A and B are shown apart, each in its own frame.
Chain A
């Protein structure tokens, strides 16, 4: 029974060095050489060189002049990138329907003329709480509001949305989407 103990201990030690030290260091080394931007968080840069956020991590927006991101269930505040989390609300939990109602009401209050149904991703919390994207439908829903608030024509805003709409990767993978932070940064440059 004990004759396997010594090889077990040595094997654990050895494989710890191999898979727990050599392997991650090798990946880190190669990653930092081959893909330094991505390996360090895909940061967006301001004109002055400081980080403006990450291309992959969403931010919260509540001012009408910005496109709003999806609701986020992270705590203690939305889009806390130090503690990712979904809401975990079940489909029949009354709290889910209440939250969705409140979000629909908030969107309508910011854009009183708009009575269209709200695209579902704009009123439901994402899985990570950090979703950087909204659907093209959710961007189109907000375009008239943003245009009005900024004194731009709806066409100008739609063109910008189109420029920031990513199609399915390689035409097949995933879903079409709009990166909200990149779109809002571009809006601020425009006007």
Chain B
């Protein structure tokens, strides 16, 4: 790895970790309803919202009511996004006159954005009107993120409370997340990004003259506008002059800011964060990448403050950071080494002062290898899923690391809220395993972990792998599943495994060669996204309710301390063990097999 590349990674980690405490402390104050600068201005707006919606902010909810509120908000959001896509052709703010989106694609995209996944079977600039992007997709970027944060806060309250039936008010937690955390940060980031070159306007696409005119082979059309077919059934093409370029524009910056901050990841344009209008400069890239992990990392500190023991938060952050750093340094050398199959063709892949070198297929020159690898690891560690390079063209090992990070269940920082509540579930599993070893009732943060919580935790741990493995197996057994595969051999298997790993863990990134905009994949991946989001959220809320109803057990001589380096090791071990045992066989068939093929002497 090059020295500048190494320094960029260190700088990234340093800035991220330095921001954890201030932002984490701020968010704790927001959720504990303490005085912060913004609610002095925002209180009137916040309470106005409650009045308009008929919400009593001091009404305490049982976990079932809390879950029902979350489900309704998300389900209605799903309907809204679906409807906007289906009718965008007759709605305003559609300067390109884009057609209504097909039913199966609209279903997939609506589920995708409501579940904080942002899997995209469509190309943004050629599919979605400005209205659909801002009124449908942007809004869900905020709401799905805020819902995740609310559920985390409810779980934390479960630890804090005793002998009570309630875990807080969903509307208050959601609105405060949006109003005092997501909106101000997004506004700030959006403006900085525009300064770097991200577009933000409502103009029709701009046409410019090319410096060098060219021509290309376009399908020949008959008088009815249908393609002319040759005798062998292939379309006839004819050379067509090309003198102009059409630049796709739109209100991108406002959506990109929340796309990163809310671990959503859905691109405004098809190429996502590789598109120069979404991610124009290396500085923009650094800030967007920082935004991916910012809130999930800072929430660890928020957690520590809210349960009254910040050490517990640092333990979570330490476990996540350890895995993250280790995997960055696995992926970076693999990509920097380049593709050995290209060297004999007369290609120079060595890094030097004049080029970044390495595997540059599907990467941008302004980012080079290191900023692309670091992004790929960050975006899959968090359940963000935006990409600034095409993961499908990564080397086998470089592509396996992002895939495995998703398969770990999106708990290495993870999604906003959902990452930490997933990690807390892993902590319950870890104390349960430790309890089995020493023969004591496991406890975590003063709550006995009993059969109900372990059962719920097992659901949380098992649903995503089931979606991933069963989904991949099913897709490979039917012709419509296999027909979408783009690359041959082991890599084609990886494409399908990656797709279900992404949907089944609410990430949203893709091995983009897979033609996923088909009824089969739109429906199969849509269902995987829906179940993986809400069949995790509901058991987590059930655990919150169950803990809130328990008394608090004082820390005794038989209690496993959960604020020590030993517990960090135990937690990391649990996450990796579950992830490895579940997915190593599948990974062996895909990336591992392809890696061996690639390095084999020929």
**A positions within 8 Å CB-CB of B:** 1, 3-12, 14-16, 18-21, 23-24, 26-28, 30-32, 34-35, 38-43, 50-63, 66, 70, 76-94, 96-97, 100-101, 104, 116-121, 123-138, 140, 168-170, 172-177, 181, 184-185, 188
Tell me whether B174 and A174 are in contact (CB under 8 A). no
Indicate whether B365 reaches chain A with its CB closer than 8 angstroms.
yes
Starting from the known contacts A19-B138, A59-B212, A101-B345, 7 additional A-B residue pairs (CB-CB under 8 Å) come to A15-B142, A19-B141, A39-B253, A54-B247, A89-B487, A104-B345, A174-B366
Specify which of A61, A82, A188 is in contact with B125 (CB 8 Å cutoff). Answer: A82
Known A66-B212, A83-B126; contact A90-B594, beta-carbon cutoff 8 A? yes
Once bound together, how far apart are the Cα atoms of A172 and B386, in whole Å? 23
Specify which of A24, A117, A128, A174 is in contact with B368 (CB 8 Å cutoff). Answer: A174
Indicate whether B163 reaches chain A with its CB closer than 8 angstroms.
no
Once bound together, how far apart are the Cα atoms of A10 and B286, in whole Å? 37
Sorting the interface of chain B by its residue count into under 10, 10 to 19, 20 to 34 or 35 or more gives 35 or more
Tell me whether B354 and A93 are in contact (CB under 8 A). no
22 contacts between A and B (CB under 8 A): A4-B72, A7-B53, A10-B54, A12-B77, A18-B178, A28-B251, A41-B199, A53-B208, A54-B276, A56-B197, A58-B276, A60-B210, A61-B212, A66-B212, A76-B219, A81-B248, A104-B345, A127-B390, A136-B353, A168-B4, A170-B283, A175-B4
B422 smallest CB distance to A (angstroms): 25
Indicate whether B502 reaches chain A with its CB closer than 8 angstroms.
no
Tell me whether A7 and B125 are in contact (CB under 8 A). no
User: Dominant SS at the B interface?
Assistant: mixed
Indicate whether B520 reaches chain A with its CB closer than 8 angstroms.
no
Indicate whether B483 reaches chain A with its CB closer than 8 angstroms.
no
Tell me whether A175 and B356 are in contact (CB under 8 A). yes
A47 smallest CB distance to B (angstroms): 13
Smallest CB-CB separation from B189: which chain A residue? A27
Which one of B99-107, B335-343, B448-456, B550-558 is at the interface?
B335-343
Specify which of A56, A97, A123, A131 is in contact with B341 (CB 8 Å cutoff). Answer: A97
**B:441-497 near A, CB below 8 Å:** 486-491, 494
What residues on A are CB-neighbors of B174 within 8 Å? Answer: 11
A-B contact count (CB 8 A): 404
Smallest CB-CB separation from B242: which chain A residue? A77
What residues on B are CB-neighbors of A60 within 8 Å? Answer: 210, 212, 214
Tell me whether B187 and A27 are in contact (CB under 8 A). yes
Mark B509-536 against chain A: 1 for CB-CB distance below 8 A, else 0. 0011100000000000000000000000
Smallest CB-CB separation from B487: which chain A residue? A90
Tell me whether A91 and B126 are in contact (CB under 8 A). no
Tell me whether B125 and A83 are in contact (CB under 8 A). yes
Specify which of B362, B364, B371 is in contact with A133 (CB 8 Å cutoff). Answer: B364
What residues on A are CB-neighbors of B212 within 8 Å? Answer: 59-63, 66, 184
Tell me whether B246 and A82 are in contact (CB under 8 A). yes
What residues on A are CB-neighbors of B198 within 8 Å? Answer: 38
Tell me whether B365 and A134 are in contact (CB under 8 A). yes
Indicate whether B175 reaches chain A with its CB closer than 8 angstroms.
yes
The 3 closest A-B pairs by CB, nearest first: A174-B282, A127-B274, A88-B513
Smallest CB-CB separation from A130: which chain B residue? B276
A125 smallest CB distance to B (angstroms): 6
Tell me whether B270 and A84 are in contact (CB under 8 A). yes
What residues on A are CB-neighbors of B280 within 8 Å? Answer: 42, 56
Tell me whether B139 and A56 are in contact (CB under 8 A). no
